Amino acid sequence: MAYRSELPVLYLNPLEHGGKTFIRIWYKPNPFVSKRLKEASWIRYSKTYKCFVMHRSNQAIEMLHRHFQDLAKVDSRYLHRPRRLRPEQGAVILRESGAGTEPLEKLPRRPIVRLQPLEYGGKTLVQLSYPYDKVIYACLKRSKTARWLPQMQCFVTVTDSGSLLTLLSEMEPVAQLWLAQAIQIRDMALQVRLWEQVYRKGDGYLSCPIPYLEKLYLLNYSLSTIRTYHSLLLRFLNSYKERGLEAINLFSEEEINTYHRQMVQAGTYSCSLVNQSINAVKFYYQRVLLRHEVRLNQVERPGRPECLPHVLSKQDVAKILSATENPKHRCLLQLLYAGGLRIGEVINLKITDVQSGRNLLLIRGGKGKKDRTTLLSQRLLECLRAYYKQYKPKVWLFEGQAGGQYTVESIRNVFRASKEKAGVKAQATPHTLRHSFATHLLEQGTDLRYIQALLGHKSSKTTEIYTHVTTHAMEKIISPLDSL
């Protein structure tokens, strides 16, 4: 791999410490590189090893690439250097051509300005909050739409889309706007600008067609699905931007099939992502362009591997919950396990959804926008009452320090810290608690149909996967080797 000589290079090396694998970052002394490393929240300087280190994960490496996009190159060739003549995982020969490379270049990382609703004087405004920065402050002072509110000691703007579009144009050179979950955008032109503010708009850049998003909203697709479809269609369009949008709109089924075949051959995308891309592109041609003569239902789809879910033992779950000292954090994790909830369902819970009189928890607008009820543990109810007396949330069951809904990333951070503190080595995420809930119920003898209803699965086949990971009745089966 060759690098341009004018840019410094960061070399990534494996580092073993305390039974865990980290990444050691080595580079030739450079004050600008050192300053940028200190600005990265996921990177720490180790006094023991006299170097900068970070956790070894694909996300951390990707963040490092983006963080140094304009300053240095990241070389990870030594990170994956084989230690044995016969590698345990074998070898994969990937396509040599540029197929599968990212057609969208992201801008260097910029400070975040958070937008959240603010009630003031009987009106709903949009509050702008950010870690103090002279450049951002000066930009907001010059803004045509933002104004300083002395009573609340913050900058605010009104809630109409025109003002937010103006603010976005003013702030784009210095900061990135981030919307709180409580703010819902109905103007598709504004939504496109917000989602695409992270990309570098070079020559020929193709933005996502607004009718595409309007159609998705009209058909009541979830926001997460719309955002996923948007990013995947954007990638498809900009892979052929030199041919222009009119030519892309006339693509044949074979050209679309070739694009997705190249994604598979690139070896860097999961089968799930490729299938989502096929759905996103298919929706564009069939539902927006009305190209029914193109039989896109014949597009080749990669077979999705049938992976078993990760499940924690009851002992590991107890360790994680016991290691969580903060009452709010403990209730969050208990809800994930005690009711089999998804992260999004937890943060969307309102105080009125806890129906203690019926020992039920009401889940509104779960996956697929379906309502359901699930178990409300008595032990959890006691913890929730103690939490409520201490924190006194107003609307949402779990609210952030500045009010409003709790965030998904905060729950992930809470789980990660509790798991590490508990010393649990098993691979797990917050969603693993949902898998563990279903598996432990099955091991207790609960009927699969009830588990399906509690989890909110549309098909019983989805729930049946837990029969493959449960130890229920497995202990009674004797291996033929033991009977010899």
State yes or no: pLDDT of 313 exceeds 60.
yes
State yes or no: pLDDT of 99 exceeds 50.
no
What CATH number is associated with residue 133?
A: 3.30.780
Whether residue 456 is found in the same domain as residue 321: yes
Whether residue 68 is found in the same domain as residue 125: no
* Structural domain for 283, as ranges: 202-305
Q: Between 308 and 163, whose confidence is greater?
A: 163
Residue 89, Cβ density class (10 Å: 0-12 exposed, 13-18 middle, ≥19 buried): exposed
Amino acid making up residue 48: T
Q: pLDDT class for 403, splitting at 50, 70, 90?
A: low
Q: What total number of domains does the chain contain?
A: 4
Q: Is residue 238 part of a domain?
A: yes
**What is the reported pLDDT for 442?**
86
State yes or no: pLDDT of 5 exceeds 70.
no
SS3 state of residue 99: coil
Kindly list the catalytic residues.
Answer: 342, 367, 431, 434, 457, 466
Beta bridge partners of 244: none
Whether residue 405 is found in the same domain as residue 373: yes
What CATH number is associated with residue 245?
A: 1.10.150
| Mean pLDDT for the stretch of residues 41-61 | 84
**What is the reported pLDDT for 481?**
60
Whether residue 449 is found in the same domain as residue 344: yes
| Mean pLDDT, the chain, whole residue set | 84
What CA–CA distance (Å, rounded) separates 437 from 196? 38
Distances (CA, A) of 400 to 95, 128, 462: 46, 16, 34
**What is the reported pLDDT for 178?**
87
What CATH number is associated with residue 337?
A: 1.10.443.10
Whether residue 329 is found in the same domain as residue 362: yes
Whether residue 220 is found in the same domain as residue 155: no
CA-atom Rg of the chain in angstroms: 25
Q: Between 457 and 236, whose confidence is greater?
A: 236
Q: Is residue 404 part of a domain?
A: yes
Helical (H) or strand (E) element with 262: helix 253-266
Q: List, in order, residues 6 or more apart from 291 with CB less than 8 Å away.
A: 249, 285
Q: What angle do CA 126, 201, 275 make, to 5 degrees?
A: 90
**What is the reported pLDDT for 207?**
94
Number of C-beta neighbours around residue 336 at 10 A:
24
Task: Look at the chain and count its residues.
Answer: 484
Q: List, in order, residues 6 or more apart from 31 with CB less than 8 Å away.
A: none
Query: Final residue of a domain: which of 121, 151, 184?
Result: 184
| Mean pLDDT for the stretch of residues 437-450 | 87
DSSP 399: B
